[in-house]
Amino acid sequence: MEMITSGVRTAHPETSSRLQILMLLRVIVVSLLLGALIIIQGLQTDSYFGDIQALHYLLIAAVYLASFVYVVWLKYSQKIILQVYTQLFFDSIFITALIYSTGGIESIFSFLYILSIISGSIIAYRKGGLITASANSILYGLLLDLHYYGVIHPLGTHATYADRYQSAYLFFVILANMVGFYLSAYLSSFLSEQVRKSGVALEEKQIDFDRLEALNESIINSISAGLVVLNAQNNIILFNPTAEKFFGTKANDVYGREVTEILPLLGIALPNETLENATFDENRPTFSDLTCSRADGKRFYLRLSISPLSFSSGSNKGKILIFQDVTQAKKTEEELKKVEGLAVIGELAAGIAHEIRNPMASISGSIELLKEGLEKDDVNNRLMNIVWREINRLNSLVNDFLLFARPKKANLREFGLGELILESLELFQNSNHWSKGQTARTDFPQPITLESDPEQLKQVLWNLFSNAVDSMGAQGCLYVTGEITSEFSMPGRKRVKIIVRDTGKGFDKKTLPQIFTPFFTTKEKGSGLGMAIVKRIVEGLKGEVYGDNHPEGGGRVTIYLPISS
């Protein structure tokens, strides 16, 4: 049978296994029955049983030969269902031949039909049982009818059926056996069908269980937290891949070992009672922060959560340790502390700047009076002009710093964007920032009504114009455009896009990422707050601002503002 099993490669493994069992039992049963019959008949008159013994040997040889053919066929063929019905039909033929050779209606082996029907029901379920019962009924009825009408003469009997039995009796025998055959097929197939349904249901449950197990394993292997499960003796029974990554050890090397042996930091960082005799709050688990070191010496931080491993009975059979990497959270917490400190310093600086502005006004007025009272010589005039210029510069820096540190609350109202830009540009062209060799061009494809703070927007435009003309030098062109666009907008909403660009050198690669950084400047006497103020005001107006270089050359600043708040 091992040869059969190793050679079978079929889509019906269960059917194949049952067929192999049938083949083995067939050989055993035939050998026992016919072997015993030959021994019994051998004790009788040799002349009377001589022909029967020869037929018995022939039947045994036929069974052995057929079994050999079945083995070869089963090994090299995929048509398992065809083999099932072929063997069942051969069994019916063999039983009929056995009954023929042992007296026909007087034979004691008619019960073998029942066994073949049961075999058909077990292997091929209801369909196989009914087909086998039909084949047995036809063959058995045909055998008795042919003998009754003298066509054949079964071995082992000397009288004809016509002499010994009435036709009604013959009909009753055939009918009774047919009823028995079909009843056996129904009852045995009923059980086999129930077994099959139970098997299908069990297989579906097994598939669901396998899927659930695979899902559970995938979840355990995919979670970003380290998961370590301990039994009641604090030995490790689960160690997921994230835990392997955290602690630099493989799961196969830690199974069954005591947790503090593998993770000594737990024994150092936690009290013994936390692990040995942990008491758990039903509402929240126990948390602890651990400081760990990697192989390269870098530190990282883990937050340990300890929960009981509970079963449906309510008993605690172990512990669940969950390690979460809070290194980034620690860094963020430290950064927040720094930001809070800087915010306090910023408020202090803004207060100091505000207080400095009043003395600066007094100093400026005093310098002007002193300037008028001093003798009119070149040295005094030059020194006073330097003091006056630097005081004005310092005053401008203080005003810019206050504007950046304490922006005004937006006063929203509707206005025409084109008119505001033209007005701001005209004012700027009349200031001392504008050179005669510089030109300006504007483009507004359509009238734009904007709901925003016009005064703050004027401040934004003034700062952008100032930076643009400074980068161009004495010659160049300033371009200002405004349009309605759907770029970077929510579906169904539009925004205003304002572009201010120049024809200067543009931003270099090192400068571009820092153009909106406070106190960053490329000008010799710049404060570094102009573009930072632009960003602060635009974001306060719920807009966005970006800086880049125009494909045709020069720097470009693009502002997006909501049409209405």
3-state helix, strand, coil in the chain (%, to 5): 60, 15, 25
Measured CA to CA in angstroms, residue 553 lies from 425, 437, 439 at distances of 22, 19, 16
How many residues appear in the chain? 565
Determine the Cα–Cα distance for residues 149 and 307; give it in Å rounded to an integer. 88
Q: Which two tokens stand for residue 4?
A: 């059969």
At position 493, the amino acid (one-letter code) is R
Least Cα distance to 12 among 179, 145, 199 occurs for 199
C-alpha torsion sign, points 238, 241, 247, 248: positive
Determine the Cα–Cα distance for residues 289 and 303; give it in Å rounded to an integer. 4
Determine the Cα–Cα distance for residues 418 and 192; give it in Å rounded to an integer. 89
Q: Are 262 and 236 in contact (CB under 8 A)?
A: yes
Q: What is the pLDDT of residue 552?
A: 84
Provide the 3-class DSSP secondary structure of residue 516.
coil
Determine the Cα–Cα distance for residues 169 and 182; give it in Å rounded to an integer. 20
497 has which bridge partners?
483, 560
Cα–Cα–Cα angle for 551, 553, 554, rounded to 5 degrees: 120
Global pTM value: 0.40
Q: What is the pLDDT of residue 279?
A: 52
At position 385, the amino acid (one-letter code) is N
Task: Establish how many alpha carbons lie within 13 A of residue 205's alpha carbon, considering only the half-sphere containing its beta carbon.
Answer: 6
**For the CA atoms of the chain, what is the radius of gyration?**
51
Q: Are 497 and 484 in contact (CB under 8 A)?
A: yes
Return per-residue pLDDT of the chain as tens, 565 residues: 333 333 333 346 777 777 788 778 777 877 787 667 667 666 664 444 344 556 767 777 788 888 788 788 877 877 888 888 888 888 888 888 888 877 777 777 788 888 888 888 888 888 888 888 898 888 888 888 887 777 777 776 655 555 556 677 778 888 888 888 888 888 888 877 777 777 777 777 777 777 777 787 888 888 888 888 888 788 888 888 888 888 888 888 888 888 878 887 776 655 554 555 555 554 444 677 788 877 777 788 888 888 887 766 555 677 888 888 888 888 878 777 765 655 555 555 555 555 565 566 666 666 666 666 555 656 666 666 666 666 666 666 666 555 555 566 767 888 888 899 999 888 888 888 888 888 888 888 888 888 888 888 888 898 888 888 888 877 889 999 999 888 766 666 788 999 998 888 888 877 777 777 766 566 655 556 677 778 888 888 888 888 888 888 888 889 998 886 5
Q: What is the pLDDT of residue 406?
A: 57
Provide the 3-class DSSP secondary structure of residue 439.
strand
Q: Looking up tokens 């880049």, which residue turns up?
A: 548
With b for 16 or more beta-carbon neighbours within 10 A and e for fewer, the 528-542 pattern comes to bbbbbbbbbbbeebe
**Residue 108 class from Cβ within 10 Å (0-12 exposed, 13-18 middle, 19+ buried)?**
exposed
Q: Looking up tokens 């045995």, which residue turns up?
A: 188
Q: What is the pLDDT of residue 306?
A: 82
Task: Assign residue 15 a region (left: φ > 0; alpha: ψ between -120 and 50; beta: otherwise).
Answer: alpha
Measured CA to CA in angstroms, residue 227 lies from 139, 221, 251 at distances of 69, 9, 11
Q: What is the pLDDT of residue 46?
A: 47
Determine the Cα–Cα distance for residues 154 and 97; give it in Å rounded to an integer. 9
Q: Are 286 and 274 in contact (CB under 8 A)?
A: yes
Q: Are 225 and 285 in contact (CB under 8 A)?
A: no
Q: What is the pLDDT of residue 399?
A: 60
Q: Which two tokens stand for residue 543?
A: 């807009």
Q: Which two tokens stand for residue 486?
A: 């759907």
Task: Assign residue 564 a region (left: φ > 0; alpha: ψ between -120 and 50; beta: otherwise).
Answer: beta
Greatest alpha-carbon span in the chain: 169
